[in-house]
Amino acid sequence: MNNHPNSQEELVKSLKAPIAQLVNIEPAQIDPNAPLVSYGLDSMTFFNLSFELEEKYGLNIMEEQVTMDVTLNQLAKLIMEKQKIGKGT
């Protein structure tokens, strides 16, 4: 959990590449307001994304009951909130 983006916008940018790689598209194709499922995210890629987010940001999206129709902006907001709680602010 050493990676602490300074803003939600910065986090959205950093999340685009790994998500794009999971669904085999270019990062620029990801609209932060579109449900990730609209890019072909299925249960296996969602599981892989969950694992990657837990490793990198300490966020267990399964525990948070995040669904596959989450948007990138929603995911980034959740990560920022969890990191803020973790910092004790």
Instruction: Give the CA distances from residue 66 to residues 18, 25, 50, 79, in Å, rounded to whole numbers and listed in that order.
Output: 18, 22, 9, 11
Is CATH 1.10.1060.10 the right assignment for the domain spanning 8-87?
no
Q: Where are the domains of the chain?
A: 8-87
**What are the beta bridge partners of residue 35?**
71
- For 5-56, write each residue's pLDDT tens digit: 788 999 999 999 999 999 999 999 999 999 999 998 888 888 888 888 888 8
Contact 52, 16 (CB under 8 A): no
- What was the pLDDT predicted at 62? 72
Which of these, 56, 44, 43, 47, lies nearest to 17 by C-alpha position?
56
For residue 45, count other CB atoms closer than 10 A to its CB: 19
CA separation (Å) from 21 to 27, 45, 80? 8, 10, 22
Q: What is the pLDDT of residue 85?
A: 65
Is the predicted pLDDT of residue 89 greater than 60, yes or no?
no
pLDDT at 2 over 50: no
pLDDT digits (tens, 9 = 90+) for 44-82: 888 888 888 888 887 777 777 778 788 999 999 988 888
Beta-carbon contacts of residue 85 (< 8 Å; ≥ 6 apart): none
